[in-house]
Amino acid sequence: MSGRFPPRRDTSTRRATARNTKRPSPAPARTPSPNPPQNRSARCLPTACIRYAALSHDGSGLDSYEPYAIALKDLAVKDRATVLEENSYLFVERHDIRRGGAAPLGYRATWAERHKLAVSKLGARVSNVMTQVDFARLLLSGGSNRVSDEFIEVHIYGPLDNNAIESVRGKTKLKNTADRALAAKAKKHLSGMGRPWIEA
């Protein structure tokens, strides 16, 4: 699958969506080495086995992570996921967490108690005039870039495969023939597995 196509991020209060396979690194940025790491075994370290996602109320994702989002099944993540109040990159900066240092208490929760974290973070902004759409926006909203994105981050331990997918949201009406064909292919595979494609 091409670099542009891979689904990146989706959120749901009931569902976690895979964001990407990157790892929040507390290490300061450094210049890429002329020889990128080649050792396959390095990718199997436990820290590397965390997949990142975001909570979403309506299955939508963040555009800064590409215009496609995969909604994951509750069953596939419930026993191996935790949630963090915000983007872990910003979180470590905000709380000045050094490598190996512990995160402050009160910002994380297990999957089963994710609602408590959501209330703790967003409770003050909830009002009785809000609609479902407003709730969804409150939980997850895209800014002009990744730094201004607002969401609750999900950390999933271990790999994900197509059995974990509940649905995919994205566009199939694209101008570029290759992108249209690749989207059609993904849609076709999904329908073969009995999973819906939600046209964005």
Partner 1 sequence: MIEQAFISGQLGRAIYSEGGQQFVIAADHVEEPRPCSGTDLAMFFRSGAEYFAPISPISRLEELANELEHNTQAYKALTLAISIFDPELSDIRGLLIEAAEELLADAFVSAFVRRRLRARPLPLGADIEGALTATKEAGAIATYDLLNAVRASQFSIGIALSAWSEGAPVFFSSEDEMIEAEKLLVESGAFDEIITGMVSRNIGAVDSAVLRYSLIPSISSQIPRVRHLLTAVRNKARERLNLTGGERKETEKPEHKRESDSIRDLLSRFDDNEKRIRKRFSGSEAKARVDAQIDPIKGLIAKHDINLATKWVRDLVEFQVGHGEKRHLGMTLCSLAACALDAGETDFATALIEHAEALGIEDPVIFGSKAWALKAAGDLLGALVEFDSAIRRFPDDPWLRNGRAEVLKAMGHFDEALKQYDETAQRFPDDAVARNGRAEVLKAMGRFDEALGQYDETAQRFPDDAVVRNGRAEVLKAMGRFDEALTQYDETVQRFPDNAVVRNGRAEVLKAMGRFDEALMQYDETVRRFPDDVVVRTGRAEVLKAMGRFDEALEQYDETVQRFPDNAVARTGRAEVLKAMGRFDEALGQYDETIQRFPDNAVARAGRAEVLKAMGRFDEALGQYRESRQLFPYDRRMLRAEASVLLAMNRIMEARDLLLPETNPVSPDDWVKFHLLAMMYLKSGNLDAAITRLSNGAERGPWQSRSFFVGSLAVARIRKEEFERALPLLEAGMGLLDVVQKQRRLVLIGHSHAAIGEKQTAVASLKSIGDMVEPNIGGLRSLLVDRYELGGHSYPKTHAERFPFLDVQIAQKEFLLAIA
- Is 149 strand, coil or helix? coil
CB of 31 vs partner 1, minimal distance in Å: 6
- Is 42 strand, coil or helix? helix
| 144 near partner 1, rule: CB under 8 A | no
Residue with Cβ nearer partner 1 (40 or 98): 40
Nearest to 2 by CA among 167, 180, 175, 196: 180
Residue with Cβ nearer partner 1 (80 or 188): 188
CB of 73 vs partner 1, minimal distance in Å: 22
| 75 near partner 1, rule: CB under 8 A | no
Q: Give me the amino acid identity at 85.
A: E
Four-CA torsion 152, 153, 154, 159, nearest 10 degrees: 150
| 4 near partner 1, rule: CB under 8 A | yes
Four-CA torsion 135, 63, 86, 76, nearest 10 degrees: 80
| Rounded-to-integer distance, Cα 110 and Cα 149, Å | 22
Q: Give me the amino acid identity at 200.
A: A
Token couple for 162? 């197509």
Name which position in 128, 132, 144, 177 contacts partner 1 (CB under 8 A): 177
Number of residues that bind partner 1 (CB under 8 A): 38
| 2 near partner 1, rule: CB under 8 A | yes
Residue with Cβ nearer partner 1 (29 or 105): 29
Within residues 9-68, the interface with partner 1 by CB under 8 A covers: 20-25, 29-32, 34, 36-40, 43, 48
- Residue 56: how many other CB atoms lie within 10 Å: 27
Rule CB under 8 A: which residues touch partner 1? 1-4, 6, 20-25, 29-32, 34, 36-40, 43, 48, 89, 145-147, 177-182, 184-185, 188-189, 192
